Amino acid sequence: MKLTLRVWRQKNADADGAMSTYEVDDVSPDMSFLEMLDTLNEELILKGEDPVAFDHDCREGICGACSLVINGDAHGPERTTTCQLHMRSFQDGDTIDIEPWRAAAFPVIKDLVVDRSAFDRIIQAGGYITAPTGSAPEAHATPVPKPDADLAFEHAECIGCGACVAACPNGAAMLFTSAKINHLNVLPQGAPERETRVLDMVAQMDEEGFGGCTLAGECATACPKGIPLTSITGMNKEWLRATRKAGKR
Amino acid sequence: MTSYTDYTTGDPVADTKAPAGPVHERWDKRRFEAKLVNPANRRKHTVIVVGTGLAGGSAGATLAEQGYHVVQFCYQDSPRRAHSIAAQGGINAAKNYRNDGDSVHRLFYDTVKGGDFRARESNVHRLAQISVEIIDQCVAQGVPFAREYGGLLDTRSFGGVQVSRTFYARGQTGQQLLLGAYQALSRQIAAGNVEMHPRTEMLDLIVVDGRARGIVARDLITGKISTYFADAVVLATGGYGNVFYLSTNAMNSNATAVWRAHRRGAYFANPCFTQIHPTCIPRTGDHQSKLTLMSESLRNDGRIWVPRAKGDTRPPAQIPEDERDYYLERVYPSFGNLVPRDIASRAAKNVCDEGRGVGPGGQGVYLDFADAIRRMGREAVEAKYGNLFDMYQRITDEDPYEVPMRIYPAVHYTMGGLWVDYDLQTTVPGLFAIGEANFSDHGANRLGASALMQGLADGYFVLPATLNDYLGRNPKLDEVTGEHPAVQEVLAETEDRLNLLLSVDGDRTPDSFHRELGELMWEFCGMARSDSGLRKALERIPQIREEFWRRIKVPGTGEEFNQSLEKANRVVDYLELAELMCLDALHRTESCGGHFREESQTPDGEAARKDDEFSYAAAWEFTATGEAPTLHKEDLVFEYVHPTQRSYA
Amino acid sequence: MARSVWDSTVGKKAVMAVSGLIMLLYLVVHMIGNLKIFFGAGEFNHYAHWLRTVGEPFMHYEWTLWVVRVVLVLAVVAHAVSAYQLSRRDIKARPTKYVHKKARASYATRTMRWGGIILALFIVWHLLDLTTGTVHSGGFESGKPYQNVVDTFSTWYGNTIYIVAMLAVGLHVRHGFWSAAQTLGAGSRTRDRALKTTANALALLLTAGFLAVPVGVMTGVVS
C-alpha cells in the first residue's frame, strides 16, 4: 500500500505546530499503525530529519501509552488502541491525518506526545483504597457478590490512555474519573472512603482544567476498553450522595 | 587483551544472609534478626527506587508507608504504564482454597522443580510463604479478582502444576495488580512521601566508597541529565528480553539500569536463562516490531497440534483427526498441553524444525479450541477467553472461534539478572534488585503466574524488611554531593556517551543495529544453543559493536525530547549484555530449563542436566567492555527438594 | 454544601438537571392548558382566569401564579447561568480544534447550546407577546388570552418564531431529559432504553401539543 500521511509536527511545548505531509510506500496490511510510523521514522532518520515523536510502549493494547487521533478519531477507526490498529483498516492511496490528543489539560510535549500527568493527579486525589501493606485481612473474610466483582472489573479495565478526553468535545475527563470511582466504590473494601474518594477526585478533575460533561457520548465510543457511558451516571450518583452526606455532617 | 571467552573463575560467592535451620523458619528468623530503624528516624533516610512495575510500585508504596523518603523514577509518562501491566494469566498463591492438596510446601516444591533445580531453596520457600499474604493484600486494595457465584475467589490451573492455585482477573491480572500497586503508590505521592519522576530514565549508578549512593538520570522531556543521591538504591527495572529485539516485552523495556549497575560492580547471574513463551502470535513479516503473547491459560482448554505429515498445507479444517499430531498429549500424557513453558516451546520448535509447522514460513503450531467449544459451548469459551480471542483476531484477522489459532514461541521473561543475596542486595552494598531485575527465585525456568507473585513478594514484603536492616546498620552515611569526584566521573561518562552517540552521524539507525543483534541472538542464543553457534555469536557481537560506534546515526540533540537517542543508548548496553549472555550459555554445557544445549540431551531429546558440574548460579563480574569477565559460582544446596530429572510424562 | 455544588462541574450540571426538570414539568402543564383552546374561547379564558385564583381562599388572587413565576424565573436563571459557565469552561478545556473535522463529534452539545439560546430569546418574545403584550401584533387585552393567541398566530412571523422554538424545545427535551437522568444518577444500563423512549415521547408530545395551537389557528379550527 501507498499512503499519504499528514502529521502534526511541533518541536516542543512552546513552539507552534503544523501539519506536515509524508508519503510512505510498501505498507503491508499486516503492519500495525505504529509499525507503519516506525517505517516512516527509519526513513526520516536516514535522511537526517527529526523522526515523528509518539508515545508507545507495550504495543499490546494495555499500557495506555499510545495516543493518536487518526482522521479525527481517537485511536483511529476501530474500537481499539492505536497500537492494535492494523493497516488493513485503510485503503491503498488513502490520506491519513494524524494529530495528538487535544485538550487544555493535556499540553503537547512534542509532535504527537502529550502530557497526561493530570490523570495521575486525579488518582492521587483519591483513586485508591487505603490498605497499608501487611494490614490486610484474609482474602475470603469479605465475600464480594459476583455481579459486584464483575462490575468493578469492567470499570477497572480502564488503561488511562486519555482517548475519552481526546474525543470529548469539551475535553472532559469524566469517563476516566468515573471508571476509577465505580471500580472502587462498588467493592466493600472501598466503602470506608466512598464519599471522600468521589468528592476529592471530582474536585481534582475540575482543578486540572478538564471540561464538563454534556453527555455527547463520544468518550464511550472512543474508549478502547468499552467503559460504558453509564459509568459517568454512576459517578454523578455517588457524587450527589456524598455531597448530601457531607452536608449532613 | 585476552579473548572474551577466556574468563577466569574467581572466589565463590555465597548468600550469607539466609539463616540456617529449617527452611520454613528462615524468613521469620531473618526478620527477627534484622535491625530495625526507629520510625522517627526513617524520614531522614532517602531511598531511590527505579521502576514502577509490580516490584517497584509495591516497594515504593510500602517503603513510603513505613516513613522513608522515597524518590522514584520511571521512563514512562506515568507509573501506571510499567510493563507488568501486560501480564495476562494470573498470580499463584498457596491458599489451597480448592482443597486440592496445595500447600506452601507444594508451591515451594513445584517452583524449585519447575526451575529445573537452579534456584536457591531459601528464597523460593520464602516466596511460597509470602504468596498467601499477597492475595490478602491485593484484595484489600480492591483488585477485582475473578469470583465465583458464592462471592469467593476463583482460581485456575497453570502449566507445570497439578493444583488450581492461580488467581486471576480475566486475562488482565497483571494490569489489575499493577493498578493496585500504582494506586497505593499514588496515595504516597499525594501524601508527599514519594517524590515521583516520570519520563526520567536512569543512565548510571553512583557508587561512592563502595556503596550505592545514587543514580544519574535523564529527563526525557528536556534532556537534562541530573544526579540524585540516597542512602540506598533499589532497581526494579525488569528483565532484559529486549536484547532479542523481538520479544513480548514493551518496546521501551530495557537493560540499561541493570547493565550499568553491573558495570559498577554488581554481579550478573545466569544471564543465559531466558524464557521462551510457547503461546505467542507468530510474526507476520520484517516490519514486526514486537511479539504478542497469548496467555498460557489458553492451554487449559486449547489443544496443540500440527499435521502428521511434513509440508501439509491444507487448511486445518480439512486435516482429518487421524492425520493430526497432538504432540504434547502424545509425548507427555500426564501433563499434556500443560507442560512447563520451556518444554512446550522446545516441542514446538522441534515439530517446526521437522517441517511440520503451519502458517507463513512454517513457524507456527495450532492451538485448537474446537473441542472446548463443543464441550463447554461457545459462550463459556467466550466468557473465559473472550478478550484473548478478540486480541488474536485483531492482530491476525482470523477468527479463532472458527479456525485454530496459530502460535509460536517467543522471548518472554529473563530468569537471569543481578545477583542478590537473601536480602535482595546485590554485590554492591546499598544496591538492591527486586522483581525480574534480579535472578533469585525462578532458577532456569519460571512457572506461569509466578512472575507477578515474585514481583509483589519482593516489593511489598521482602525488601521493606531487609532494607531496614541495611539502613539500620548504616544509620549515618556520609553526605554525598555533586562535587564528589566519583559523582563527577559518572556524570561525565554519561554525558560523553550521549554526545558520542549524537556526533557519529553515520548511516544506520539504532533500530537497524538492534534488529541485527536480536536476529543473531535468536538464532544462536535462543531456544537451542550449541558450542559452535555461540562462538559464532561471540565473534559477531564485537564486530557489530564496533560498527555501531562507527555508523550509528542519531538525529537531533541531547537537550530535547529525543526518542532516537534514548533508543541508541539502550542498544549500547544490549550490545554488551548480549555478549555476556552468550558467554554464560557457552560455559554452561548442560541443558536446564530455558537453557537448552544441543550437546546435552537425553536419548529422547529432553534436556539433560549435569548436576555434578553445574549445580550453581553463575555470577559474573564485569572487568572491561569486551574483556573476559570473572565467574563467581554460588553453589546451590538442595536439602528439601532433591534434584531429579524433571518428568512431565 | 450549596457552595460545593455550585463550584463543581458535576454539581452545576445537577443544578441544570433539576432546573430543567422543573421547567419540563411546567411545559407539560402549560401544553395541556394550551389545548383547552380547542374547546372555545369561553373555556380557554375561564381556564386562564382560574390560574389566577388557584389556592383561594388560602392564597390571595394571583399569589399561586406568582409563586410559580418566581420558581420558574429562578429555574431559568439557574439553568442559563450554569449552562453559560459550563460552556465557557468546556470551550476553554478544548482550545485547539482538530484539523481533521468530524461532524458528529459535538452534535448533541451544539444542539443543546444553540437550542438553549434560541429558547431563551423565545421566552423573552413570548412574555412580551402574550403576557405583557408589549410586542403583540393585535390589540392586546390581558383578560382575553384566546383572542391574543389567535392574533399572534395570524402573523407569519409569529408562527415562524413559535414553530422554530417548539422544534428547539423538542430537541432540547430529547437530549435534556435523558441527560438530566444521567446527571442525577438515575440512569443505568437496564433503564437506558426506557429513559431514551421516555425522552423521545416527551419531546414528541410537547412539540406536537404546542404546535397544535398555531396549526389550529392556521387551519381555521381556532379562530
* pLDDT tens string B303-320: 999 999 998 999 999 999
Read off the pLDDT band of B385 (50, 70, 90): confident
* Cross-chain residue pair A120–B512, CB shorter than 8 Å: no
* Cross-chain residue pair B290–A59, CB shorter than 8 Å: yes
Neighbouring chains of B at 3+ CB pairs under 8 Å are A
Residue B450 has pLDDT above 60, yes or no: yes
What average pLDDT score do residues B189-205 get?
98
The answer to whether residue B585 is domain-embedded is yes
- Cβ atoms A200, B190 nearer than 8 A: no
Q: Which of B412, B443, B473 is the last residue of a domain?
A: B412
Check which CATH number belongs to the domain holding C143 and give it: 1.20.1300.10
Give the C-alpha separation, A195 to A249, whole Å. Answer: 12
Residue entry with cell 549508578: B205
- Cβ atoms B72, B94 nearer than 8 A: no
Residue B340, pLDDT score: 85
Q: Is B341 a catalytic residue?
A: yes
Using a CB-CB distance cutoff of 8 angstroms, which residues of chain A are in contact with residue C97?
102
β-pairing verdict for B91-92 and B155-156: unpaired
- What type of residue sits at position C126? H
Using a CB-CB distance cutoff of 8 angstroms, which residues of chain C are in contact with residue A167?
105
Residue C192 has pLDDT above 80, yes or no: yes
Would you state the CATH architecture of domain A117-248? Orthogonal Bundle (1.10)
Please indicate whether chains C and A are in contact, defined as at least 3 beta carbon pairs under 8 Å. yes
Whether ipTM tops 0.95, in short, is: yes
The answer to whether residue B307 is domain-embedded is yes
E-strand ranges in B350-484 read 365-368, 405-414, 417-418, 431-433
Q: Which residues contact B151 (CB under 8 A, 6 or more apart)?
A: A143, A144, A145, A146, A149
Give the C-alpha separation, A59 to A200, whole Å. Answer: 33
The 10s digit of each residue's pLDDT in A196-215 is 999 999 999 999 999 999 99
- Cβ atoms B233, B432 nearer than 8 A: yes
* Cross-chain residue pair B176–A156, CB shorter than 8 Å: yes
The answer to whether residue C100 is domain-embedded is no
The answer to whether residue B315 is domain-embedded is yes
What average pLDDT score do residues B46-54 get?
98
Q: Which residues pair with B46 in a beta bridge?
A: B69
Of C108, C182, C189, the CB nearest to A236: C182
Residue entry with cell 534488529: B515
Give the C-alpha separation, B187 to B185, whole Å. Answer: 5
Give the C-alpha separation, A117 to B210, whole Å. Answer: 37
B176 touches chain A (CB under 8 A): yes
Q: Which residues pair with B438 in a beta bridge?
A: B418
Please indicate whether chains B and C are in contact, defined as at least 3 beta carbon pairs under 8 Å. no
Q: Is B285 in the same domain as B369?
A: yes
**Chain A interface, mutation test: which of C88, C94, C102, most A Cβ atoms within 10 Å?**
C94
Of C10, C95, C98, the CB nearest to A202: C10
Q: Is B284 in the same domain as B368?
A: yes
Residue C2, pLDDT score: 78
Q: Which residues contact C58 (CB under 8 A, 6 or more apart)?
A: none
The answer to whether residue C18 is domain-embedded is yes
B291 touches chain A (CB under 8 A): no
The rounded mean pLDDT for chain C is: 93
Give the active site residue among B81, B118, B299, B341: B341
Residue C220 has pLDDT above 70, yes or no: yes
The 10s digit of each residue's pLDDT in A92-143 is 999 999 999 999 999 999 999 999 999 999 999 999 999 999 999 999 999 9
Neighbouring chains of A at 3+ CB pairs under 8 Å are B, C
User: What's the domain count of chain B?
Assistant: 2
Using a CB-CB distance cutoff of 8 angstroms, which residues of chain C are in contact with residue A210?
9, 93
**How close A173 comes to chain C (CA, Å)?**
10
Grid cell for residue B73? 523514577
Residue B161, pLDDT score: 84
Of C9, C98, C183, the CB nearest to A69: C98
* Cross-chain residue pair B509–A45, CB shorter than 8 Å: yes
**How close A30 comes to chain C (CA, Å)?**
25
The 10s digit of each residue's pLDDT in B245-298 is 999 999 999 999 999 999 999 999 999 999 999 999 998 888 999 999 888 889
Residue B440, pLDDT score: 85
Can you give the residue range of the structural domain that contains B568? 485-626
Can you give the residue range of the structural domain that contains C33? 2-92+105-219
The answer to whether residue C84 is domain-embedded is yes
Asked if residue B333 has a cis previous peptide bond (ω within 30° of 0), the answer is no
Residue C105 has pLDDT above 60, yes or no: no
Q: Which residues contact C26 (CB under 8 A, 6 or more apart)?
A: C68, C72
Residue B382 has pLDDT above 80, yes or no: yes
* Cross-chain residue pair A171–C90, CB shorter than 8 Å: yes
The answer to whether residue B644 is domain-embedded is no
DSSP conformation letters of B63-85: HHHHT-EEEEE-SSSSGGGSGGG
E-strand ranges in B134-224 read 155-156, 166-167, 194-197, 200-208, 211-219
User: What's the domain count of chain C?
Assistant: 1
* Cross-chain residue pair C98–A102, CB shorter than 8 Å: yes
* Cross-chain residue pair A228–C189, CB shorter than 8 Å: yes
- What type of residue sits at position B643? P
A221 touches chain C (CB under 8 A): no
Read off the pLDDT band of C139 (50, 70, 90): confident
Which residue in B has a C-alpha nearest to residue A67's C-alpha?
B77
Q: Which of B412, B445, B460 is the last residue of a domain?
A: B412
Residue B387, pLDDT score: 81
Residue A147 has pLDDT above 90, yes or no: yes
**How close A150 comes to chain C (CA, Å)?**
14
Which residue in C has a C-alpha nearest to residue A105's C-alpha?
C93
Read off the pLDDT band of C104 (50, 70, 90): low
Residue B1 has pLDDT above 70, yes or no: no
Of A42, A150, A160, the CB nearest to B511: A42
* Cross-chain residue pair B142–A58, CB shorter than 8 Å: no
Residue C106, pLDDT score: 62
The answer to whether residue B500 is domain-embedded is yes
Give the C-alpha separation, B527 to B445, whole Å. Answer: 12
The answer to whether residue C97 is domain-embedded is no
**How close A188 comes to chain C (CA, Å)?**
20
The 10s digit of each residue's pLDDT in B326-367 is 999 999 998 899 888 888 999 999 999 999 999 988 899 999
The answer to whether residue B497 is domain-embedded is yes
The rounded mean pLDDT for chain B is: 95
Q: What CATH number does the domain located at A3-110 have?
A: 3.10.20.30
A170 touches chain C (CB under 8 A): yes
The 10s digit of each residue's pLDDT in A26-45 is 999 999 999 999 999 999 99
The answer to whether residue C14 is domain-embedded is yes
* Cross-chain residue pair B153–A139, CB shorter than 8 Å: yes
* Cross-chain residue pair A240–C105, CB shorter than 8 Å: no
CA angle in degrees (0–180, nearest 5) for A162-C4-A128: 45
* Cross-chain residue pair A102–C106, CB shorter than 8 Å: no
The residues in A 47-66 lying below 8 A from B, measured between CB atoms, are 48-51, 53, 55-65
- What type of residue sits at position C176? G
Using a CB-CB distance cutoff of 8 angstroms, which residues of chain C are in contact with residue A6?
99
- Cβ atoms A180, A160 nearer than 8 A: no
Residue ranges covered by each domain of chain A: 3-110, 117-248
The 10s digit of each residue's pLDDT in C28-51 is 999 999 999 999 999 999 999 999
Name the packing angle between helices A230-248 and C9-35 (round to 10°): 100
The answer to whether residue B317 is domain-embedded is yes
